[in-house]
Amino acid sequence: MAIVLSEADVKTVLPMRDLIDAMEVALATFSAGEVVQPVRTVLQVGPSKSFFGVMPAYQPAPAALGAKLVTVFGANAARGLHTHLATIVLLDPETGALIALLDGRFITEARTAAVSAVSTRHMARPDSADGTTLAILGSGVQARSHFEAIALVRRLKEVRVWSPTPANRDRFAREMAHQAPAPVRALPSARAAVDGADVIVLATASPVPVVERSWVADGAHVCAVGACRPDVREMDGALVAAARLVVDSRAGALAEAGDIVLAIQEGRFGADHIAGELGHVVAGRLPGRTSSDEITIFKSLGMAVEDVAAAELAWRRAAERGLGRAILL
């Protein structure tokens, strides 16, 4: 008998702090070569160029087997729906039998931010005496989840937000101010938002750069989570070339990360500019930064093992608490 876990069920059993710790384990396991995970398969759907991705993975400990089916339909925003939707299929790693179907939208949102928080914990400079200035470019669900996650690993003194629609960034600042440990300000330009920031989150849907090297202060850490196709980018090539670059998956980054792929095509650097994977940093096999004034970038594409590890944790906790709806196949 399998169970179905709704988004509400998943939210109940996956607090962000626990998810950050679970992602550290998953990242280290992946970079140690213990995870079986191909580069995701992505289909382009229809004239609107929507996307459907299939992301399977197996990890040995804690044993988890499954796949995420994810869609990106930009036109959903006009329909009042999330643009990113997902379902996670979790299988028994001993028998292959279905054990759970989980709503994957929240898992995708939360684990992405949790992984960025892991990168911030290991790659950003420690808090200064008066705290860390966080800049967020974007005002959607990833902006909100990153706000929550990074506040758990850094003591924030100021949060700045910019997105191209003034009403959206103003609403974000207003709503986040009620739960913020620090002042939240909406800024009129991306440049103003990142000026002097210690940690920068890029969570936009822009296909062209929204941040330039000259705007970013020495020593800043950048979490780049948008631009998940090889023909789009959020950062200019000069910024990526000037920084210490760490990725979640080297194979995935060289196939799909436009911030990297396009800069390589421009001749700014080669594949060896990637210092390593975040899992190597977590495991202590690679330093997150080599100096206090070094700019560091974590380029995130998201990996199936992150989804499967999060789903396994949610399923185990839900089963302990009797959550979910049982189904017979």
Domains with residue ranges and CATH for the chain: 2-108+305-327 (3.30.1780.10), 118-302 (3.40.50.720)
The residue to which tokens 């060896």 are assigned:
272
pLDDT of residue 162: 98
H helix intervals, 67-178:
105-123, 141-150, 166-176
How confident is residue 46, by pLDDT bands cut at 50, 70 and 90? confident
Cα(145)–Cα(111) distance, integer angstroms? 9
Cα(148)–Cα(257) distance, integer angstroms? 25
CB atoms within 10 A of CB 148: 17
pLDDT of residue 178: 80
- Cβ atoms of residues 275 and 288 within 8 Å: no
pLDDT of residue 205: 87
pLDDT of residue 231: 93
Q: By three-state DSSP, how is residue 138 classified?
A: coil
N-to-C CA span, the chain: 8
Q: By three-state DSSP, how is residue 133 classified?
A: strand
- Contacts of residue 300, defined as CB under 8 A and 6 or more positions apart, other chains included, come to 112, 115, 116, 119, 223, 224, 225, 247, 248
Cα(117)–Cα(24) distance, integer angstroms? 10
Mean pLDDT of 189-203: 98
How confident is residue 74, by pLDDT bands cut at 50, 70 and 90? confident
pLDDT of 228 over the 90 cut: no
In this structure, the strands spanning 84-91 and 98-103 are: antiparallel
pLDDT tens-digit profile of 280-304?
999 999 999 999 999 999 999 999 9
- Cβ atoms of residues 278 and 247 within 8 Å: yes
CB atoms within 10 A of CB 67: 21
Cα(251)–Cα(223) distance, integer angstroms? 19
pLDDT of residue 328: 78
Mapping DSSP onto H, E and C, the string for 277-298 reads EHHHHHCCCCCCCCCCCCCEEE
pLDDT tens-digit profile of 97-124?
999 999 999 999 999 999 999 999 999 9
Q: Which two tokens stand for residue 101?
A: 């179907």
Mean pLDDT of 206-227: 96
